[in-house]
């Protein structure tokens, strides 16, 4: 078997300047449209055109692992469960498989939890370099009082979260109240301080792809470091058409301002083959720089298990039972 690499899967990264945002440009928003049939044709062509096999597939799957926000957002979360998740994030693939692949180290991109679990996660990840992301701002509905949403962000940052996944008020998008959405996200960004802001659009509840495109731009104008599809709690979460719309909004924003904003599809991505399609879409639309974890993440809990099974198949030629891989 060809050795994939002899070093870590993390490539050297040049630290990027944070997106400072810009003034709300209503004229730009009004010009934005979304051709649904053309978008669907584009994403339908991806699986066939961007197929990767053998060593190349294994390398792409290792890259996918480095971009996973390993997540637990359950009402019965405990510190012990979070510590176990953090251990999995620090060593997401069995050591014997990494050795067989010729890879020294791979880690998940981050661990994502509710506010109450931030401190246990930070303690468990100390020394690993893996950031902790906290869902905040009234997650998942975003309907708690605004002052409480701001306070929640501040408390999570104080507890050690270096990334904050906020939810927007969907009503602002559905009513076309772009100024209200801009002001809201801008206030959330200020409350984050040095922590990076990931704005969750809940795209399954926004009504149209045009609304998704416009909401994406408003969040970036307000200073979001990432835009994210879903909370994982909606009836419809990450999809390829929505992803294409959001990615092209990121590209348009980068062309206009020169600042790079990250992208995070979340909810419903549980198979390794799906992760490969999302990576191919990012490479096609935004280029290799957006395949690094500072600009791309998967919001997932079960995806890692399937990737590890695929890697074992690559090494041994056999699919393993699920119990051979500790669940994230």
- Summarised one tens digit per residue, pLDDT across range 182-216 is 999 999 999 999 999 999 999 999 999 999 999 99
From 69, 88, 198, 264, active-site residue: 264
Predicted local confidence at residue 53, as pLDDT: 80
From 225, 228, 274, 294, active-site residue: 228
- 88 counts as catalytic: no
**Residue 48 pLDDT exceeds 80:** no
* Sheet with 132-136, edge to edge strand ranges: 262-264, 226-228, 196-200, 163-167, 132-136, 110-113, 68-71, 298-300
For 208-265, the pLDDT digits (tens) are 999 999 999 999 999 999 999 999 999 999 999 999 999 999 999 999 999 999 999 9
**Residue 18 pLDDT exceeds 80:** yes
Fold that domain 26-45+54-316 belongs to in CATH: TIM Barrel (3.20.20)
Question: Over the chain, what is the mean pLDDT?
Answer: 92
Q: Give 107's pLDDT tier (boundaries 50, 70, 90).
A: very high
- Residues with Cβ within 8 Å of residue 85, at least 6 apart in sequence: 70, 72, 111, 113, 121, 328
Element (H, E) at 189: helix 178-192
Six-digit token string for 96: 């014997």
When pLDDT is averaged across residues 63-69 and rounded to a whole number, the result is 97
Contact status, residue 59 vs residue 295, Cβ threshold 8 Å: no
Distances (CA, A) of 133 to 11, 78, 195: 22, 16, 9
- 264 counts as catalytic: yes
**DSSP, res 46:** H
CA dihedral 174, 179, 180, 184 (to 10 degrees): 120
Predicted local confidence at residue 203, as pLDDT: 97
**Of 106, 126, 112, residue with least CA distance to 60:** 106
**Residue 328 pLDDT exceeds 50:** no
From 69, 88, 165, 274, active-site residue: 165
**Of 168, 246, 174, 250, residue with least CA distance to 206:** 174
Predicted local confidence at residue 140, as pLDDT: 96
Q: Give 1's pLDDT tier (boundaries 50, 70, 90).
A: very low
Return the percentage of the chain with pLDDT > 90, whole number. Answer: 86
Predicted local confidence at residue 15, as pLDDT: 81
The number of CA neighbours under 13 Å toward the Cβ of 243 is: 31
Six-digit token string for 108: 């998940």
Q: Burial of 223 by CB count in 10 Å (0-12 exposed, 13-18 middle, 19+ buried)?
A: buried
CB atoms near residue 296 (< 10 Å): 25
For 288-303, the pLDDT digits (tens) are 999 999 999 999 888 9
């Amino acid at each position: 078997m060809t050795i994939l690499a002899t070093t870590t899967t993390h490539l050297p990264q040049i630290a990027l300047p944070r997106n400072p945002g810009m003034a709300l440009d209503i004229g730009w928003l009004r010009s934005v449209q979304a051709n649904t049939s053309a978008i669907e044709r584009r994403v339908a062509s991806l699986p066939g055109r961007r197929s990767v096999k053998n060593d190349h597939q294994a390398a792409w799957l290792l890259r996918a692992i480095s971009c996973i926000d390993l997540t637990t957002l359950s009402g019965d979360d405990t510190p012990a469960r979070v510590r176990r998740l953090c251990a999995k994030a620090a060593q997401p693939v069995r050591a014997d498989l990494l050795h067989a692949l010729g890879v020294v180290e791979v880690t998940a991109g981050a661990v994502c939890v509710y506010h109450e679990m931030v401190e246990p996660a930070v303690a468990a990840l100390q020394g690993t370099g893996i950031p902790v992301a906290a869902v905040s701002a009234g997650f998942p509905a975003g309907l708690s009082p605004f002052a409480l949403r701001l306070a929640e962000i501040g408390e999570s940052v104080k507890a050690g979260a270096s990334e904050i996944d906020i939810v927007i008020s969907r009503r602002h998008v559905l009513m076309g109240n772009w100024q209200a959405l801009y002001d809201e996200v801008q206030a959330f960004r200020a409350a984050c301080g040095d922590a990076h802001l990931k704005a969750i659009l809940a795209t399954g509840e926004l009504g149209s792809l045009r609304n998704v495109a416009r909401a994406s731009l408003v969040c970036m104008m307000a200073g979001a470091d990432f835009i994210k599809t879903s909370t994982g709690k909606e009836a419809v979460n990450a999809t390829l058409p929505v992803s294409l719309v959001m990615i092209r909004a990121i590209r348009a924003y980068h062309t206009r301002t020169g600042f790079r904003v990250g992208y995070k599809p979340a909810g419903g991505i549980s198979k390794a083959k799906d992760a490969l399609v999302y990576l191919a879409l990012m490479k096609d639309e935004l280029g290799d720089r957006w395949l690094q974890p500072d600009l791309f993440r998967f919001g997932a809990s079960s995806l890692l298990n399937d990737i590890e099974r695929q890697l074992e198949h690559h090494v041994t030629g056999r699919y393993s039972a699920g119990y051979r891989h500790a669940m994230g």
